[in-house]
Amino acid sequence: MIEFGGSKDKGRAREMKTVRRVASMLPLSAMLIAGAAVAQGKYDPGASDTDIKIGMTVPLSGPASAYGLTCAATRAFFSMVNDRGGVNGRKLTLLCEDDGLSPPKAIEKTRKLVESDNVLFIYNSQGTAGNIAVRRYLTQRQVPQILANSGAVTFDIASENPWTTKAVPAYYLDAKLFAIDIKRRNENARVGILYQADDFGRDYISGLKDGFGADAARFIVSEQPYQFADPTVDSQIVSLRNAGVDVVVLGALAKASAQAIRKIGELDWKPQIYLSWTSGSIPLVLAPAGLENAKGILTHTAVKDVTDPKVSADSDVRAYRAFMASYLPKEDAESFTFIYAYATSSILVDILKRAGDDLTRQNIMKMATDVDISPPLFMPGLRFKVTATERSPFKDFPMVRFDGRRWQHVEKPPGQ
């Protein structure tokens, strides 16, 4: 055993301690270097150090082209985000393809976005039938289909949607809450429903019947389907009136809803109307139908009515109006299409921020199934919540009544 006693020995001891200290630091240095390499980013196609490429299919043509404004609204929102430095320093790019709300076209255009344009994921594509049509393909390719713009209940089942989440309230829930409200208001109501003859409309039928429960056959006296491409729904409305209906449920998209409301007015018929939340836009639906005809209509909404003076001073409403003035000055800031696009895009930005530098499709999906926020423009107290096992982002949402100018909140009775 060596003993260090003299001054020379003490110097050698200090040298050996220094050598050991430096040697002990080498593994740590190696780990820091490796960590820095990881922090540079993990990417799948569509992502890089500078950009995130996102795909969307929308009806830019055809009878549902009004919903195509979602593309313009989202692009404008991305421009605002990019002007402020992007998300974690990366610019957002949106590629939109016109599917005309046709399922075969939705498949064709989605394949193009994934295989030719190499988008990182598909975001907020429009329509129930199209989103259902592309779901299997995107699942097989393990490409996220996030915040799909469909309220179909089929997207609420986590086991069937490993790569899919949705952005909007369930049509089934909308209709079920209508039924509960109808029963509360009028135990002797004679209910008729106009519904689109597809998964969208059938969810309204199912929700309405489940809301009425064992009394469904007593309440519902007429069911009138229409095809998406039908030029008019006049004959269906006449059939509802002839059946003695005094409550009309419109499980219909914008064009058919506007036609139905206008026809009811032309017939000088005064049923209570319950309107699908998808058709609650004043400029796109109620104004073309006639504001006087629309007076008294009930619907649900997840977002604020930005025309309401009571919310005009809210910080999120002011921010939204400033956004519209700067990025979409020629568009109608009061349109639900732009309001929903603004709120939904805010949810997407939250997902991407939390994804950080791990922009793999698997991590995007992980973040998209772990959301619990109150986005801007949402009604007070309403949260958007999605988990790995619970994909329905809404359990309830407020009812509103149209007063001839704007939507007014309707208080629910205790226990409802």
d(CA 125, CA 400) in angstroms, rounded, equals 27
How confident is the model at residue 43, as a pLDDT?
98
Residue in the block written with tokens 């430096």: 22
Each domain of the chain, given as residue ranges in start order, spans 51-169+311-386, 172-301
Helix, strand and coil in the chain, % to nearest 5? 50, 20, 35
pLDDT of 307: 87
> Distance between CA atoms of 333 and 315, rounded to whole angstroms?
16
Closest CA to 407 of 264, 293, 253, 303: 303
CATH of range 51-169+311-386; options 3.20.20.10, 3.40.50.1100, 3.40.50.2300, 1.10.3300.10 = 3.40.50.2300
Structure token pair of residue 85? 């430095």
Span 236-282, pLDDT tens digits: 999 999 999 999 999 999 999 999 999 999 999 999 999 999 999 99
Confidence of residue 412 (pLDDT cuts 50, 70, 90): low
SS3 174: helix
- pTM attached to this predicted model: 0.83
Position 293, amino acid: N
Gap between the Cα atoms of 306 and 308, Å rounded: 5
pLDDT at res. 413: 56
CA-wise closest residue to 204 among 252, 145, 248, 149: 252
Letter string b/e over residues 380-392, b meaning 16 or more CB atoms within 10 A of that residue's CB: eebebebeeeebb
Average pLDDT over residues 182-203: 96
Residue 352 · residue 151 · CB < 8 Å: no
**Region 335-340 average pLDDT:** 91
pLDDT per residue over 366-398, tens digit each?
999 999 999 999 999 999 999 999 999 998 889
Residue 243 has φ and ψ, to the nearest 5°, of: -85, 0
As a whole number of angstroms, the distance between CA 298 and CA 399 comes to: 7
Q: What's the pLDDT band for 16 if we cut at 50, 70, 90?
A: very low
Rounded CA gap, 342 and 319, in Å?
10
DSSP letter string, 214-254:
GGHHHHEEEEEEE-TT-S--HHHHHHHHHTT-SEEEEE--H
340, amino acid identity: Y
207: number of CA atoms within 13 Å, CB side?
29
Task: Tell me how far apart the alpha carbons of residues 85 and 357 are, in angstroms, rounded to a whole number.
Answer: 15
**Model confidence over 51-78: pLDDT tens digits?**
999 999 999 998 888 889 999 999 999 9
Q: Per-residue pLDDT tens for 25-40?
A: 444 444 333 333 344 7
Q: Quick one: DSSP state of residue 379?
A: P
The CATH architecture one would assign to domain 172-301 is 3-Layer(aba) Sandwich (3.40)
For the chain, what is the largest distance between any 2 Cα atoms, rounded to a whole number of angstroms? 115
